């Protein structure tokens, strides 16, 4: 696990966007695994700027998002479909047919899960997966639990996650109770993983992810076992880490 600590959120976003740009420069038809949440928004803004400055071409890029709420129509402004359009896809030249986001409205949700993993497999796997992290160390919507889920599945959201995400909805009651998410196994198969975290409220989750026991109780701790993980933090999220374990950039 390589850990970079940036002066502030803006630098973190810049660094993350540069890594995505390098990936696409090296392989124009890269398969990107994308995340939602507030953390990657700065990175998406930088990617849009890079695209506008003709530094990146997304025309051959393929994307797979981590997760989506269940039973939230895609035109709801809190759906992750809507989020991705508003923060990235509407402003770059990615082809619509190359965008994949789990369909939380699917009638046959089990089939949707199986097909989602199958689409990732057919394309040859994810080249770089972007991850945020929940306060409880969830990744995608893999909540702390008793076993690592191998495949894309439907998860019941923990109350703490619903409360954390309620800030984007009118009320807690509006936050869906379930989501469809790539499983830990689906995420782990990605060739590279880039985990982003900013702010003091992520410091404990980052500490447990980096130093803790590898356990499904701390879903992100599995990343300790992956060969190619880069963690990009701001100073606040890195507060509990030993400075010998990271580089300041």
- Which residues contact ligand GLP (rule: CB under 6 A)? 35-39, 66-67, 132-134, 140-141, 161, 165
Q: Which is nearer to ligand GLP, 5 or 180 (CB)?
A: 180
Active site residue 136: yes
* Residues pairing with 155 in the sheet: 179
Catalytic residue among 65, 68, 98, 138: 138
Q: Which two tokens stand for residue 244?
A: 């010998």
Minimum CB distance to ligand GLP, residue 153 (Å): 14
Q: Which is nearer to ligand GLP, 141 or 246 (CB)?
A: 141
Q: Which of 143, 185, 186, 194 is nearest to 164 (CA)?
A: 143
Active site residue 103: no
Question: What is the Cα–Cα distance from 218 to 201, expressed in whole angstroms?
Answer: 15
Catalytic residue among 14, 67, 112, 234: 67
Q: Which is nearer to ligand GLP, 8 or 242 (CB)?
A: 8
Q: Which is nearer to ligand GLP, 31 or 175 (CB)?
A: 175
Minimum CB distance to ligand GLP, residue 41 (Å): 8
Residue 36: CB partners within 8 Å, gap ≥ 6?
A: 65, 66, 67, 80, 83, 84, 132
In this structure, are residues 202 and 188 in contact, taking their beta carbons and an 8 Å threshold?
A: no
Catalytic residue among 65, 87, 103, 136: 136
Residue holding tokens 């630098």? Answer: 11
Catalytic residue among 112, 127, 143, 234: 143
Minimum CB distance to ligand GLP, residue 17 (Å): 16
Dihedral sign, Cα of residue 96, residue 48, residue 116, residue 162: negative
Main-chain dihedrals φ then ψ at residue 199, nearest 5 degrees: 100, 150
Q: Which two tokens stand for residue 62?
A: 């393929």
Minimum CB distance to ligand GLP, residue 169 (Å): 12
Active site residue ranges: 67, 136, 138, 143
């Amino acid at each position: 696990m390589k850990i970079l600590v940036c002066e502030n959120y803006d630098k973190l976003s810049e660094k993350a966007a540069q890594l995505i740009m390098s990936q696409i420069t090296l392989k124009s038809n890269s398969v990107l695994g994308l995340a939602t949440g507030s953390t990657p928004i700065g990175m998406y803004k930088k990617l849009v700027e890079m695209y506008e400055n003709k530094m990146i071409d997304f025309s051959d890029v393929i994307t797979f998002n981590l997760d989506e709420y269940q039973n939230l129509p895609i035109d709801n402004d809190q759906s992750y479909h809507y989020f991705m359009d508003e923060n990235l896809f509407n402003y770059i030249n990615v082809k619509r047919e190359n965008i994949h986001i789990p369909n939380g409205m699917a009638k046959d949700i089990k089939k949707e899960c199986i097909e989602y993993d199958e689409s990732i497999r057919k394309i040859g796997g994810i080249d770089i997966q972007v991850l945020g992290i929940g306060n409880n160390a969830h990744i995608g919507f893999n909540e702390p639990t008793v076993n690592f889920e191998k495949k894309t599945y439907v998860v019941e959201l923990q109350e703490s996650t619903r409360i954390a995400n309620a800030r984007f909805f009118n009320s807690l009651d509006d936050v869906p109770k379930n989501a469809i998410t790539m499983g830990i196994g689906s995420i782990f198969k990605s060739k590279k993983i880039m985990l982003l975290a900013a702010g003091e409220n992520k410091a404990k989750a980052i500490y447990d992810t980096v130093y803790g026991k590898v356990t499904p109780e701390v879903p992100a701790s599995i990343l300790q076992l992956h060969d190619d993980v880069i963690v990009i933090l701001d100073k606040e999220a890195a507060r509990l880490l030993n400075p010998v374990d990271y580089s300041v950039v």
